[in-house]
Structure formats: structure tokens, C-alpha cells
A and B are shown apart, each in its own frame.
Chain A
Amino acid sequence: MDARLANTWRLTLNEKNFIKTALLSEIRIDGRKPFEFRNISINFGREDGSAEVQLGQTRVMGIVTAKFVQPYRDRPNEGTLAIYPEFSPMADPSFEAGRSGESAVELGRIIDRGLRESRAVDTESLCIVAGKLVWAIRIDILILDNGGNLVDAANIAALAALMTFRRPECSLGGEDGLEVIIHPPEMRDPLPLIVHHLPIAITFGFFIDENVVVIDPILNEEAVMAGRMIATVNANGDICAIQKAGEGVSQRVIMQCLQLAITKAADITKQIKAAVEAYNSERALQKIKRETTCVGNNVKGDQNQTLDNKGISELVGKYMERLKLISVESYASQNISAEETKSLRRGTDSNCIKFNSTPLSWDPYSKCVDLEFLKASVALQGLSTASEEKEATGKEKGSEAESAGPYEDVNSKWSAVDASTTEMHVIGPKTLKDAVKPKNKGKKKASSVI
């Protein structure tokens, strides 16, 4: 008890008086002007959907995850969004582990209102089966360091995380068309969330009289301020939410603050978008690097069905753009189980081998089919770039036969079929039954290519 008493942060009378007197001459204790924001720096983690924001000394981390749930009865077509703030005790001596106090609940509510009421995140696109299965997006906000103005920093962290989050693509399939198939990231590129606009929270602090207003208060100013207003606005000038606490202020001051908030929100929106762009381009660069190193290539599947020359060149173009590969639907034998995420990563070509990931089991010993198939397809290849990949796949296939496989998850039986000049296909071989089909289709494809 004594230790906790000794550890609490206290404000002296000297500080209180000084902050107030200095503000009367428009001087803030960290040297900023009254309407100046601190420097914002946004960093992303290695996983999609995690962001850390630093606003001066305040540090907040936002993490976005998603899972399947049943939708609410009154909204059967929409996914859900939930915010979970956590005030870590390392941020401030007054934060306790476990259930945090009012300020944590308030922070969660403000961010939640800003995102939900303004419909910033498109929840209808999160619906998979109406009335039965939707995506539930969960945003965890972790406060790492409290340097004042947690709400603004947490809001930016949540937005940055939402914009970089990718959810796995899923489709309906299976025998009765009602099974939901989640495509692992190696097969199909995960999708970003649809975010219509960015609601930014701006905090205003009011001191002794309503004419003394500051933006983005730091810890000391927060302890001294008499009233506070948090306005969530977006760059288009829409006001998404307002939260007001403490002393009353006149309408004129509120309108001025809202105008100011809109200007600041535009700046911050630009910063967030720039940071997200940089992250996305780096991510794409990394994927391209992986693709060009043969073995560790991503397999992307798409809805495209037929192998088509025109389609190939188109798709090659698209591939360069979006790194999305299309697979042939003809291979959508239900026996292919793509649930094994340990699929060989290969670049797939715009050629269409479509494999549906179904949760069916497959026979790991039907490799012979793959090899043959591979050879058949490889024979069609003519390009030098493909030759490397061929070799690699050939090697891999060979090693697969021992079910050892290369380090990149050679468990699966995906055989790569080269249909395009630059990329390889991967098909999922299954049982002996399926073994027959691929052969035929391969030949067909070969003919169509030629």
C-alpha cells in the first residue's frame, strides 16, 4: 500500500499554476503552439494488421484479427467490429493489470463510435453466409506508454491496423455448395478490408476559461485541464462523433474547434495513407522477391477457369501488378484438400488450375501422378525463365517423392504445372481417382497452349 502510494505520479501546485499562466501567454511547456500536434510516427509489425503509433511520448499498438461468428439476429448480413482496449501497467503507474478503469472503457467507446456509427468499415462485405456465418473483426488496442492524449494515438493505431489487415479469402463450395472453404494465404492472396474513410479523433483541452484551448494535450496538461472535447472527424469534413467532458464551453468555441479538427484530420489522414502505402509497396516487393527465387513462391488461386493464351498474357500482366495468380477450375476436384497450408509455394501462372481448398483428405502417395503431369506440362515450356523453375519443381517433385520435400512445406502434393512462360502451376493431386483426371486435363491444356 505504501509502495503504491509512493509510486503514484503527482502534480505540484507549482506545475499547475505554471501551466495555466504560461497558457495565458500561449506557451506550452513542451514548446509547442496551442494548436500544434506532436510528431506522429506509424510503424507496422511483420504481420498484416498490426501497427504501432508514437505520438510524442505516447505509444499505442493496434492489432486486428478476424474470426468466424454467427451474425446478430437483427443484422444477418453484416459482419461485426469490436474494440478491446488494454491499458498496460507499464504505461503509467496508475494503470492496473486486469480490468482497467473508466478511461479505458471511454477510450474503447470513442473509437468504437467513430468507426461504427460512421460506417467507416464496410461490414456487409464481411458476410459469408447470410444469417449463418460472418467475419468478426476484433481490434485490440494496447497502451504501451502514456504521454498524454491516448485517444488520438489509439485511434490512429486502430485505423492503421485496419488498413493493413488482410483476411483470408473464402468461398462456398463443397458437395452441397454450402461448405465454406477458407483459402490459405499461399493459395489466394488475402483480401484487405473495405474502409470507406478514416475517422480521426482530435482531442481539445480547455483550461481556466474557454478561450484557452489546446490541441493534443500532454500528460501534465491533461491533469490540469478543466474541460475536454474529443471530436472524431474525417478528411471530408464529416463529423463522426463528439465526446465532451468537464467544464462547459460556448457554442462559438465548439464550432471553432470543429473547424480546426477538420483541418488537422486532413493532415493526419495524409500521414496515415502515406505510411500504409509505404507498407503495402514493401509488402509487394517482398512477394516479388520471393517469386523470383524459384522455390519459395506463393501459390495463388483464382476463380478463372480456362487456360487461355490471351488469358495468360493478360494474367501475366495482372500478376506483375497484383501478384495474383489464377488457377484452372478444371482441377477443382473436390478431393483436393487445400486446407493443408503446408502447400508448396510456387508461383502460379495466370493459367488456370483452380483448386478448391476443401477439408477433404488426400492421399499423400499419389505423387507419381504429379510427376508425370509435371513432366507433361514441363515439356510444353519453352522459356528460359521457366526452365529454372522447372528444375526447381522437378527437384522438389523428386524430393517430394520421399515425402521429405524442401523446407518450404513440401508436405502437400501440389504439383506445379507450367502453363505460362514465367510461372508455374500447382495442382493438388489427391486420390488415385483424381490421378486419372489430371492427366487428361494436362494433355488438353498442352494442346490448348500450343
Chain B
Amino acid sequence: MENKQSSSPASFVDSTVVPGDVVLDLSSMTNQTIKLGGGLRQDCDAISATKAGTLRFSKPNKYWIESSQKRYVPCVEDTILGIVVDSKADNFLIDIKGPAMGFLPVLAFEGGTRRNIPKFEVGTLLYLRVVKANFGMNPELSCTDASGKAAEFGPLKDGYMFETSTGLLRKLLSSPACPVLEALGKKLSFEIAVGLNGRVWVNAASPDTIVVVANAIMNSECLSGAQQIIMVDHLLKNIQ
């Protein structure tokens, strides 16, 4: 499929684009279905970028723009960490670090009925999934996966939460494991939950492990893989 594409999209993939760049010309690609991810917008026959970042392509037909920000724009099917702010009759108000508060329906739990509505204190940290995210409306969240099972969603107990940028999060979630996490995982045992809205939760048996893991992750944003491993070694030597 890449061969059939005109030269312009191929040259843009994996390179930096700025808002306004036309990255795909649909007139040259007929009878194809293309999926557009975040940061791309369709104007008749031209696909243009609305965010500054790198254009990425994954087979067979997904295009999206990757950038690192501190603000979060809710997208459907994202897993995020939210903080309970208030509970109303029908939903909980959740702070998801986005432009608007998220709504978590009280029934959106596995086996949730009107009789067993969970009670969350203000300030509880929840691991959630975004169900609906439309521009201008409050996003709707859920504590179950698509099939209705709990699947690790729900309140997180203990541990410590800190905030990072979205670029760092994607590195943490990338599939050959991120060097920082690998290096830390070899020596320490800890539990980690990454929310795509810029929040990371860490839990471990002892407080100093948590502090080391949290600081190592926060510092690894600008370092290359090898540097990250060196930094982790340093930190671990200091605590042992």
C-alpha cells in the first residue's frame, strides 16, 4: 500500500509537521479506507494536521500525530487515571486533567446495580476508560472494559501518584519495554499504572522504593535509553 501512495504522505510519515500542513492527499488514493487518529482533520480531499508533532503511520491504514503535551485531550478508548471530585445522583464527577470534568455513571461497574453503588471519597484515585469524548461535552467514563468486566479498572489503593507529560507516558507504555522500567524492574519490585492523561501511579512495599521509582521516571523524559539505564544504576546505588 505504501507504494501506491503519492510522494507527499510518504515523506511526511515519521517527520515533524505543524498545524496546517497537508499530510495526505486523498485524490490520489481511491478505494482505500484510512483511519485518522488524533491531530488530523479531513477537509474534503486533503488531510491536514491540527497539532504539532510527528506523523505516524501503522499498517494497514492508521495515521496519527504524536506530540508531547501537559494537557490531555480526551479520546475514546483511552485508559486514564481520574480523581473523584464529587458524587451526584447519576454520576461521579471526575477530574481527568482535561478541558472538562468527566462523568462516571454510578452503574458503570461490573455487576453494578442501583443497590450497590460504590461510595468513593473525594480524592480517590480511579483507573478508568473513556467511553465517549466529544468536543464540547463532558467525556463519559467507565470502570469496566468494553465487555462489561472489571479488568483492573476501579480504585487504586495506597501508592503515590505523580504527573508527567503525554510523551513520557507513551514511552512508558511502548511495547518493547521502556529502558527505565526495565532497569528498575530488575532490582526492585513495584506496581505501576499509567494513565494517558498524564498521571502515573506507583506502588511498592516500602516508601523509598516508591520514591526512587517515581523520581527515576520523572527524570527519564529527556534522556536516551542508555542514559536512562545509567541514571537508574546511580539511583539504586545511592539507596543501597
**Which residues of A are in contact with B by a Cβ distance under 8 Å?**
2-3, 5-6, 8, 10-18, 21-22, 25, 27-31
Contacts and interface: CB of A to CB of B under 8 A. Distances in A.
Interface of B: 83, 85, 95-101, 121, 123-125, 138, 156-161, 201, 207-208, 210-212, 214-215
Nearest to A3: B99
B95 A29 contact: no
A22 B101 contact: no
Nearest to A22: B207
Given A5-B85, A5-B101, A29-B214, A15 B95 contact: no
B139 to A, nearest CB: 10
B100 A3 contact: yes
Given A14-B157, A22-B207, 20 more contacts: A2-B101, A2-B138, A6-B95, A6-B96, A6-B97, A6-B100, A6-B101, A10-B123, A11-B123, A12-B123, A12-B124, A13-B121, A13-B123, A21-B207, A22-B210, A25-B208, A27-B207, A29-B211, A29-B214, A31-B215
A25 B101 CA distance: 36
23 contacts: A5-B95, A5-B101, A6-B96, A6-B98, A6-B99, A6-B100, A8-B95, A11-B123, A14-B156, A14-B159, A14-B161, A14-B201, A17-B158, A18-B158, A18-B160, A18-B207, A22-B208, A27-B207, A28-B211, A29-B160, A29-B211, A31-B211, A31-B212
Nearest to B95: A10
A6 B138 CA distance: 10
A8 B100 CA distance: 11
Contacts of A3: 99-100
A13 B124 contact: yes
Contacts of A11: 123
A223 to B, nearest CB: 11
A12 B98 CA distance: 17
A3 B98 CA distance: 9
A3 B160 CA distance: 26
B101 A15 contact: no
B68 to A, nearest CB: 18
Nearest to B210: A18
Contact of B125 (A8, A13, A21): A13
A8 B201 CA distance: 19
A3 B211 CA distance: 32
A337 B183 CA distance: 73
A14 B125 contact: yes
A5 B85 CA distance: 9
A14 B95 contact: no
Closest 6 CB pairs of A and B: A22-B207, A18-B160, A13-B123, A12-B125, A27-B207, A6-B101
Query: Which one of B95, B98, B215 has the greatest number of beta carbons of chain A within 10 Å?
Result: B95
Nearest to B123: A13
A28 B215 CA distance: 11
A31 B211 CA distance: 7
A27 B211 contact: yes
Contacts of B207: 18, 21-22, 25, 27
B92 to A, nearest CB: 14
A16 B121 CA distance: 13
Given A5-B101, A18-B160, A10 B211 contact: no
B173 to A, nearest CB: 21
Contacts of B83: 10, 12
B190 to A, nearest CB: 13
A16 B158 CA distance: 10
Nearest to B199: A12
A10 B85 contact: yes
A2 B214 contact: no
Contacts of B215: 30-31
